[in-house]
Amino acid sequence: MTRQSTTSPSFLTESRAVSKRFGHFDAVDDVSMNVAGGEVVGLLGANGAGKTTLIRILLGLIGASTGEALLMGEPPSRELRRSIGYVPQSLGLYDDLTVQENLDFTASAYSQPRPSVPADLADHADTLVGDLALGTQRRLAFACALLHRPALLVLDEPTSGVDPLSRARLWDTIHQQADAGAGVLVTTHYMQEAQQCHRLLLMSGGRLVAQGSERDVIGGTTAVEISADDWAAAFSALERAGEAVTLDGTDVRVADGDPYRLQLVLEAASIPAQIRSVPATIEERMTVLARAERVGSTPPTS
């Protein structure tokens, strides 16, 4: 279940019917959303869903083709971006500067005093960023984003490549920022992190197709759960039949599957199994949406 926010709305960023077209391609299509102070909003979607393009529009880094994007209630500007902490997928660090020098440069850009290196990065203070592991680079990018105590945090895959313990610590920091009144917009590929958010936005094919709690986002999408003594054989048989199979422990799952068809596949392979329909996960909901895009149908909304 997604977390609950008790903070009253005060939109720090907002899009109103925003679209962005590149030639004949709609990267973002008529998206209206917002982020209030004190809440963590998760922006979910498969690669190419339009998440990063929407973020760049909200920050004023690229213009919208139609619609309106607002920061702090005004059109995005360089001055308003000074109130934002941003961690892009590219991290925005300088590979040929050390950890300390990256922190110093960021602090100078925001007219902040020279910062100390965070304790978890202290051993790397004099290491060039280009020589650091990706997870360490991400921790540095996060530290740089927080230096000026931003009113709004925009984090594009901030925990990708970070070990589980560091990921948990980063999320602790995210919630500390929200508890202090900052708004947070975060994209993630880790579905368990969706439960760390107060509210979720799901994009597919450039459109906002669902929003609200985890249950709201999943909507009526179901999956088929298959329990078999020889789960590996069941998985292989269904995969050979072209089904989009995943594993949950030793249970085989098929998003939006047809129980009757799956039963026939397993019977043909002489694999006894118990089959039942269950609510889908967010990841399975995304699988269904991606499949609808590939076949050219309209993604279902919740």
Q: Helix and strand tally (H, E) in the chain?
A: 8, 13
Q: Is the alpha carbon torsion for 40, 169, 190, 60 positive or negative?
A: positive
Do 29 and 50 contact (CB within 8 A), yes or no?
yes
Contact 265, 241 (CB under 8 A): yes
Q: State the pLDDT at residue 64.
A: 94
Q: Judge whether 202 and 239 are in contact, CB under 8 Å.
A: no
- pLDDT, tens digit only, all 302 positions of the chain: 556 554 444 689 999 999 999 998 999 999 999 999 999 999 988 888 899 999 999 999 999 999 999 999 899 988 888 899 988 878 888 899 999 998 999 988 888 888 888 888 889 999 999 998 888 888 888 889 888 889 999 998 887 777 788 788 888 889 999 999 999 999 877 677 888 899 999 988 899 988 998 888 888 889 999 999 999 999 999 999 988 888 888 999 999 889 999 999 999 999 999 999 998 888 888 878 777 766 665 444 44
Tokens 């903070």 belong to 7
pLDDT attached to residue 6: 44
pLDDT of residue 19: 96
Name residue 153's beta-bridge partners: 85, 184
User: Domains along the chain?
Assistant: 11-218 (3.40.50.300), 222-279 (3.30.70.790)
Per-residue pLDDT, 295: 61
Residue 239 confidence (pLDDT): 92
